[in-house]
Chain A
Amino acid sequence: MRNPFNILVAGVGGQGNLVCGRVLAEATVLSGLRPVVGDTFGASRRGGSVLTHIRIGKTDWAPLIPKGEVDILLGLEPLEALRAASTYAGARTITIVSQTKIPTVASTGKITMYPSLERIFESLNKLCKQIIVLDAEETLTQIGSMKMLNSFFLGAMGALDESPLSLEVIRESLQSIFGFESVNMTAFNEGIKATRLC
């Protein structure tokens, strides 16, 4: 594993960025490594862009990932994935991105057209080493709701060969937050499947 290994979670307030950070930090401790997690949650309650920086290392690193140094980008929302990638992605960034849009609100008196997914993914492809697009909507709606997207993404990330944290430790730390029987565990397992099918 690179020291530090850098995971960036990009989403919109309410999508569960903070929980992703919590789970990955715990999983890091369970793996005998040191986590540093930097959140921007000032705007999280008001539907703004939210970023969670997770640094996994042998020692403590700075709370923000330097530009270009992201190893894995978890894009819980397509536009926010692109926004994060355009600042932080680099030559070794692998991006897992959800294809479910969260519309922006036109509060300045004119509608800004949400760009097409094709254009977003095309740009992401240019910025990253690899992108994996996941469609979680059907599966998660069946299980319960899109609120479990963060757990789904944790499973999807853990199933990557490049993941610095094993599926076992991520599962254990997710379970410690939500409990064994939570639908979040089902979402987590579905996320694993989704990556393996790619």
Chain B
Amino acid sequence: MTHTNHEIIMSGNEAIARGALEAGIGFCASYPGTPSTEIATTLHELAEDYDIYVEWSVNEKVALETAAGASWAGVPAICPMKSLGMNVSSDFLLNLNLSGTGPGGLVIVVCDDPKGHSSSNEQDSRFYAKAAQIPLLEPSTYQEAKDIVPYALNLSQKYQVPVVIRSTTRLSHSRGLVTKGAIPKRNWSAVQLDDGLFNVPTPHLKHRDLLKKMEQIKETFGESLWNTIPTKKDIDVLIISSGISRRYSEEAIHLLEAEKCDILNLVTTYPLPKNIVKAALVRAKRVLFSEEVDPFVEERVRSLAIELNNIPEFHGKRTGAIPAYGEMSTDIMREAIARLKKIKFNKIEQTDSDILIPRLLTFCAGCTHRNFYWAVRKVRKRVKDKLVVAGDIGCYSLGVFYDRAMTTMQAMGSGIGVASGLGQLARFGYEDKVIAVAGDSTFFHACIPGLINAKHKGANLTFVILDNETTAMTGFQTHPGAIHQESNLNRVKIEGIVKAIEPDFFARSDASNIPELVDLLHSTIIKDGLKVLLLDSICRLEVARREPAIEGISFRIDNNLCKGEKCLICVQDFACPAINWDSTMGCPEILEHLCVKCGACVTVCPHDAIKEEKIE
């Protein structure tokens, strides 16, 4: 956050974190996940200054449960998470809504990732607000992202329901000017819990009570100044926007100089502010919806419109005027408005793309995950391709781009779960050796039940844990097994947990030794029963943060031994970013500025052409 006299440049996520402080929040629990991570990171950094409690929980469900505990005890709480994290927390959420959140207040922030820039899907998490019958707020500017948090907390305290704030990647990860507000003096302390914080034996009556609260909240939203009302007198096309799509809509109107176009921007999107929407609908001939990702507001407005005498013409994701998938942009809005208003504009089409070769994501130079997948490739050959790898979520998910190293990759912890099923199929003639892969943070997040299931049911599989002792993908957050722990935290070792489950075979090995890794993986997968390999792995980015670069040695390729174009194993198959194909010389070269001197490539070259050298 950068200071000026009046305003500060903040990302949407930093603004939400600042809003949490201005709301007087005392408790934050989160699990890292793009694009939500920076909210809890920012609060973490400020925790001491403002005497608040912030934790990286083991997963989003635990995070929401800890935050609910705080709220029940009168401590205002916030729980930020990414879209897919909401799925993990949803079992608890769909009970908490009925039980109520107690006196503290609980704000859930969910950051969706349209187009899946850093996610395995592009889900619209707003449906959870509808499923749980709880209020939903969608800030559309950086200022609103900050200011909405105190409002959300107040709402939660007043009605004792969890309140959801929803952002998307482009709001969370872009920056603009925000005017700060004051941070209030603390007016709460932890108290004993109320009685009856459960839903049995009459959950339907709790549901009835929740619906009553939502009716009242709907009235409040119907007069809410958070929503921006169209001001033009004569409206041909009314755009109903929410979230960052508001800015795309405004800019599209500006670029097209479209007349008689105005915007109703909704921040209080669920329950829909009926009065405001109705008042705007009766003034418009045509309505165009602008939102990410699903037609959430669109569908609610459509069902509200049946109460009107004259229903306007609706255009949106339901009619194909706007794509019902992917990210919104000014370009999409410009095209949709231009089509409706019959305005011509110069469309820029992508040209000359034949030389645009892709730049695929890959493992960092020296990443030991590459060594593991290299071993998988070797072992796959040895077992004549009778091998399946059930993957998981983390940096090592990049294995999907690395040859055919990973066969499946869905949700946190689903690798061991899927493998646990595959490991039962020999009775039906399934012949492949089954491997499941997970990282250390993912192990704690969601793998333990799957592993216990595999043990209990006697599944025949090999579970490989790539343990680099940090949450590398999202920026090195602490997890229970992380090597660097703050002084108040207790380390929980993966090895102890795995051994307690008593697999049929357990080995711990070093992922930086490729020849040993290949043999260990091969000898392990051909054994019967539940096998677990714990591989001590290295995140080079984490190492670079803490240790100086290795000096005094260098790696080079001996061109007399290198078979050049006839081989290409180091460049094409092993594919470390520090090995480049020099097309003018017709040989591979090691890029000194990228090489981390791990030496992994030395054993990969079948011609002993890669040499370690001492340098003065």
Binding site for B on A (CB under 8 A): 12, 21-22, 25-26, 29, 34-43, 45-49, 53, 60-64, 66-69, 79-80, 82-83, 86-90, 103-115, 119-120, 123, 126-127, 145-146
- Is B248's CB under 8 angstroms from A34's CB? no
CB distance from B38 to the nearest CB of A (A): 10
Q: Are A111 and B581 in contact (CB under 8 A)?
A: yes
Given A29-B9, A114-B583: A62 and B251 within 8 A (CB)?
yes
Q: Which of B340-380 contact A (CB under 8 A)?
A: 346-348, 350-353, 355-364
Q: How far is the CA of A145 from the CA of B583 in the complex (A)?
A: 24
Q: Tell me the complex Cα distance, A183–B551, Å.
A: 22
> Taking A35-B177, A42-B118 as contacts, is the C-beta distance between A107 and B575 under 8 angstroms?
yes
Q: Are B174 and A105 in contact (CB under 8 A)?
A: no
Q: Is the CB of A39 within 8 A of B173?
A: yes
Instruction: Please judge, given known A-B contacts A46-B362, A47-B362, whether A64 and B330 are in contact too, CB under 8 Å.
Output: yes
Q: How far is the CB of A63 from chain B (nearest CB, A)?
A: 3
CB <8 Å contact, A79 and B334: no
- Output the least CB separation between B132 and chain A (Å): 28
Q: Is B275 an interface residue (CB 8 A)?
A: no
CB distance from B518 to the nearest CB of A (A): 18
Beyond A63-B174, A111-B568, A111-B572, whether A86 also contacts B352 by CB under 8 A is yes
Q: Give the contact stretch, choosing among B94-102, B232-240, B397-405.
A: B397-405
Contacting pair B331 A67 (CB below 8 A): yes
102-143 of chain B: CB within 8 A of chain A: 117-118, 141-142
Q: How far apart sit A21 and B580, CA to CA, in the bound complex (Å)?
A: 30
Could you tell me if B580 and A68 are in contact, using CB atoms closer than 8 angstroms? no
Select which of B34, B353, B401 is within 8 A of A86 by beta carbon.
B353
The verdict on A38 contacting B170 (CB below 8 Å), with A64-B330, A114-B357 known, is yes
Contact residues in A for B251 (Cβ distance below 8 Å): 61-62, 66
Q: Contact at A48–B330, with CB atoms within 8 Å?
A: no
A42–B34 CB distance below 8 A: yes
When the two chains form their complex, are residues B360 and A126 in contact, meaning their CB atoms are under 8 A apart? no
* B250 interface hit (Cβ, 8 Å): yes
Residues in B neighbouring A12, C-beta threshold 8 A: 359
Does B567 reach chain A (CB closer than 8 Å)? no
Q: Which residues of B contact A34 (CB under 8 A)?
A: 176-177
Contact yes or no, B330 A26, CB < 8 A: no
Q: What residues of A have a CB within 8 angstroms of the CB of B492 in the complex?
A: none
Does B420 lie at the interface of the complex (its beta carbon under 8 Å from any beta carbon of A)?
Answer: no
Task: Assign chain B's interface to a size class.
Answer: 35 or more
Nearest residue in B to A101 (C-beta to C-beta)?
B580
- Chain A residues with Cβ below 8 Å from B363 are 46
Distance, CA A119 to CA B363, complexed state (A): 29
Q: Give Cα A45 to B362, complex, Å.
A: 10
Docked pose: A89 CA to B355 CA in angstroms: 17
Q: A62–B348 contact, CB under 8 A?
A: no
Nearest chain B CB to A149's CB is how many angstroms away?
Answer: 12
Contacts of A112 in B (CB 8 A): 357-358
Taking a contact as CB atoms closer than 8 A, the residue among A60, A68, A106, A146 that contacts B575 in the complex is: A106
Q: Of all chain A residues, which has the CB nearest B330?
A: A66
A64 and B329: CB pair below 8 A?
Answer: yes
Q: Which residues between 139 and 167 of chain B lie within 8 Å of chain A, taking CB atoms?
A: 141-142
CB contacts (< 8 Å) of B421 on chain A: these are none
CB A23 to nearest CB in B, in angstroms, measures 10
Contact between chains at A110 and B255 (CB < 8 Å) = no
Q: Do the beta carbons of A83 and B2 come within 8 Å of each other?
A: no
The reply on B556 being an interface residue by CB < 8 A is: no
- What is B's interface to A at a CB cutoff of 8 Å? 2, 4, 7, 9, 34-35, 117-118, 141-142, 169-171, 173-177, 244, 247-248, 250-252, 255, 329-331, 334, 346-348, 350-353, 355-364, 395, 398, 401-403, 541, 568, 571-573, 575-577, 580-581, 583, 591, 593
Cα A25 to Cα B4 in complex, Å, equals: 12
- A106/B359 contact (C-beta < 8 A), A38-B174, A64-B170, A67-B348 known: no
User: Most chain-B CB neighbours within 10 Å: which of A63, A64, A88, A89?
Assistant: A63
A36 to chain B, nearest CB (A): 5
A69 contacts which chain B residues (CB < 8 A)? 255
Which residues on the A side are within 8 Å of B360 (C-beta)?
48, 104-105, 107-108
Question: Which of A22, A26, A47, A80 touches B361 (beta carbons < 8 Å)?
Answer: A47
Residue among B170, B348, B356 with max Cβ neighbours from chain A (10 Å): B348
Q: Chain B nearest CB: distance from A72 CB in Å?
A: 17
Roughly how many angstroms separate A89 CA and B176 CA in the complex, as a whole number?
A: 23
The residue on B at minimum CB distance from A4 is B251
Nearest B residue to A112 via CB reads B357
The 7 closest A-B pairs by CB, nearest first: A63-B174, A42-B118, A62-B247, A68-B348, A115-B355, A38-B174, A66-B330
Q: What's the minimum C-beta distance from B136 to chain A, rounded to whole angstroms?
A: 22
Q: What chain B residues lie within 8 Å of A88 (beta carbons)?
A: 348
- Which of A22, A114, A126 is close to B351, meaning CB atoms less than 8 Å apart? A126
Q: How far is the CB of A74 from the nearest CB of chain B, in Å?
A: 17
For the complex formed, measure the closest distance between the CB of B590 and the CB atoms of chain A, giving whole angstroms: 12
Contact B177 A119, beta carbon cutoff 8 Å: no
Chain B residues positioned under 8 Å from A103 (CB to CB): 577, 580-581, 591
A-B contact pairs, 21 of them (CB 8 A): A12-B359, A21-B175, A45-B364, A46-B361, A46-B364, A48-B360, A53-B174, A62-B251, A63-B244, A63-B247, A64-B330, A66-B334, A67-B348, A83-B359, A86-B352, A86-B356, A103-B577, A103-B591, A104-B358, A108-B360, A127-B352
Q: How far is the CA of A64 from the CA of B395 in the complex (A)?
A: 27
- What residues on B are CB-neighbors of A110 within 8 Å? 572
List of A residues within 8 angstroms of B174 by Cβ: 36-39, 53, 63
Q: Once the chains bind, are B575 and A36 in contact (CB under 8 Å)?
A: no
Do residues A123 and B357 form an inter-chain contact, with CB atoms below 8 A?
no
Kindly report which residue of chain B lies nearest to residue A82, judged by CB atoms.
B356
Bound complex: CA of A108 vs CA of B348, how far in Å?
31
Given contacts A25-B2, A47-B362, A113-B583, 16 further A-B contacts (CB under 8 A): A21-B175, A22-B2, A36-B176, A41-B173, A42-B34, A47-B361, A47-B577, A49-B359, A60-B142, A61-B247, A80-B359, A82-B355, A86-B352, A87-B350, A105-B575, A112-B357
A127 to B351, CA, bound (A): 8
A68–B348 Cα gap in the complex (Å)?
A: 6
Q: What are the residues of chain A within 8 A of B357 when measuring CB–CB?
A: 79, 104, 112-115
Cβ-closest chain B residue relative to A110 = B572
Complex: how many Å from CA A17 to CA B577? 19
A77 to chain B, nearest CB (A): 9
Q: A68-B346, A87-B350 are in contact. Are A79 and B359 (CB under 8 A)?
A: yes
Chain A nearest CB from B605 CB (Å) reads 16
Instruction: Give Cα A105 to B27, complex, Å.
Output: 44
Contacts of B358 in A (CB 8 A): 104, 112
